[in-house]
Amino acid sequence: MFLPFDIFYDILTMNSAIKIQKIHSCLHLLSRTHRFLVCLFILSVDFTSADAQRSGVALLDIAPNPFALSLSEAGSAWGQGGGNSFTNPSLLVNSKRSSVEIGYTNWIADTKNIFGSYHKKLEQRAFSISFYSSGLQDLEQRDEPGPSNGLFSVQYLSISTAYAQSFRWFNVGASVHYLSEEIYPYRSNGYAFNVGLSRSFAKDRIHIGTAVRSLGEMQRLDVEETPLPKAWISGLSIGLLEWNGSKNPELPVFVRTHLDYVYPLNNESNLSQNTFTNIEAYARVGVEVLVAETLQLTTGFRTGNTARPHSFGVGYILSDIRFNYAIIPFETGFGTVHSVGLQYLF
């Protein structure tokens, strides 16, 4: 069963609130394959129905690990290991130890995101190698109603390398990403790079960072190239509270907040006339509570016209291993995101 064109037209021309209700009321009429394709089409030409701050290759606009996701991706000033190559690569040198990290995210529409990184910290410099993939398998391909022509998949891939150097007054870093997207029967390759600066103050209680993300381009996919989610990001990370109770000195509590300001750089003239991409700036706020240097509780919030304003997470930290889990509830019936990750420090 196919969704009539007049419904598509109504969805693309109505305001955001009514649009989301219309999409949700129509999706139950379709099979799993058609529901995914309808969502893919609507999200690609009018992404404000799911998250107004995203455009182009969405893989680059989703944090690769659960810790960052649990903070609503507010992390442009805080070192997290190899995942920093996708935000602010200068933060690679802020981490005190090297790490190997893997992450798995079950995104909406049964999309599977997989991340892996190797991050090596030296005295005044650091580098990382990472991969980040996103895909959906076993979609049925049809030219008309009736038996399918077979199965196909949708795949995105980023293979990245990053380098950071510490100087007297600031840290600087850059990352390069090889990109590949495949939507049957079309395939496209491209590149992107991030550059960033960061610095810490007050005995590492205050961190600031700024970066330009996803500069580059993709090859043509069928008719035109897919735009990248270019953005300028600036952030602040502050250690707000460090409390050691007199009755329980072995249970210290440390509270840190993370603030990001994101300004999209996509030029409206570079986008298709049929693309309704929101290019307004927005903010992200994350709060991290660490109890006894072992139990980590996190939450995040993002402003703007978004279907995922809140996020939550929990972490368990040992001397050499960190486990993180994040959950992101979508408000528009698209489902709930779950993400798990494991980081080994050495």
Q: Is the pLDDT of residue 324 over 70?
A: yes
CA distance 125 to 304: 36
Q: Is the pLDDT of residue 14 over 90?
A: no
Q: Say which residue the tokens 């072992």 belong to.
A: 294
Spatial neighbors of 281 by CB under 8 A, at least 6 apart, are: 261, 262, 263, 264
Q: Is the pLDDT of residue 226 over 80?
A: yes
User: In the prediction, which pLDDT does 244 show?
Assistant: 78
Q: What is the share, in percent, of the chain residues with pLDDT greater than 90?
A: 55
pLDDT band at 268 (very low <50, low <70, confident <90, very high): low
175-197 per-residue burial string, b: 16 or more CB within 10 A, e: under 16: bbbebbbbbeeeebebebbbbbb
The two tokens of residue 2 are: 């196919």
Average pLDDT on 92-107 reads 94
Q: What is the mean pLDDT of the chain?
A: 81
Residue 222: Cβ within 10 Å count:
11
Q: Is the pLDDT of residue 216 over 80?
A: yes
pLDDT tens-place string over residues 104-125 = 999 988 889 999 999 999 989 9
CA distance 7 to 185: 26
Label the pairing between strands 231-243 and 336-345.
unpaired
Backbone φ/ψ region at 195: left (φ over 0), alpha (ψ -120 to 50), beta? beta
User: In the prediction, which pLDDT does 186 show?
Assistant: 84
The two tokens of residue 111 are: 């999309």
User: In the prediction, which pLDDT does 12 show?
Assistant: 38
Residues paired with residue 197 on neighbouring β-strands, in sequence order: 172, 210
Q: Which amino acid is at 159?
A: I
User: In the prediction, which pLDDT does 311 show?
Assistant: 97
Q: Where are the beta strands (DSSP E) in the chain?
A: 99-106, 112-121, 125-140, 151-166, 171-183, 186-201, 206-218, 220-221, 224-225, 231-243, 253-264, 282-291, 295-302, 310-317, 321-329, 336-345
User: In the prediction, which pLDDT does 21 show?
Assistant: 44
State how many domains the chain has: 1
Q: What is the share, in percent, of the chain residues with pLDDT greater than 70?
A: 78
Please tell me the chain's helix, strand, coil percentages from 3-state DSSP, rounded to the nearest 5: 20, 50, 35
User: In the prediction, which pLDDT does 279 show?
Assistant: 67
Nearest to 277, CA basis, from 57, 123, 34: 57
pLDDT band at 225 (very low <50, low <70, confident <90, very high): confident
For residue 115, the domain's CATH number is 2.40.160.40
Average pLDDT on 43-51 reads 39
CA distance 134 to 278: 23
Whole-number Cα distances in Å, 319 to 99, 116, 180, 294, 345: 12, 21, 37, 9, 8
User: In the prediction, which pLDDT does 213 show?
Assistant: 94
Domain, as residue range, for 333: 5-345
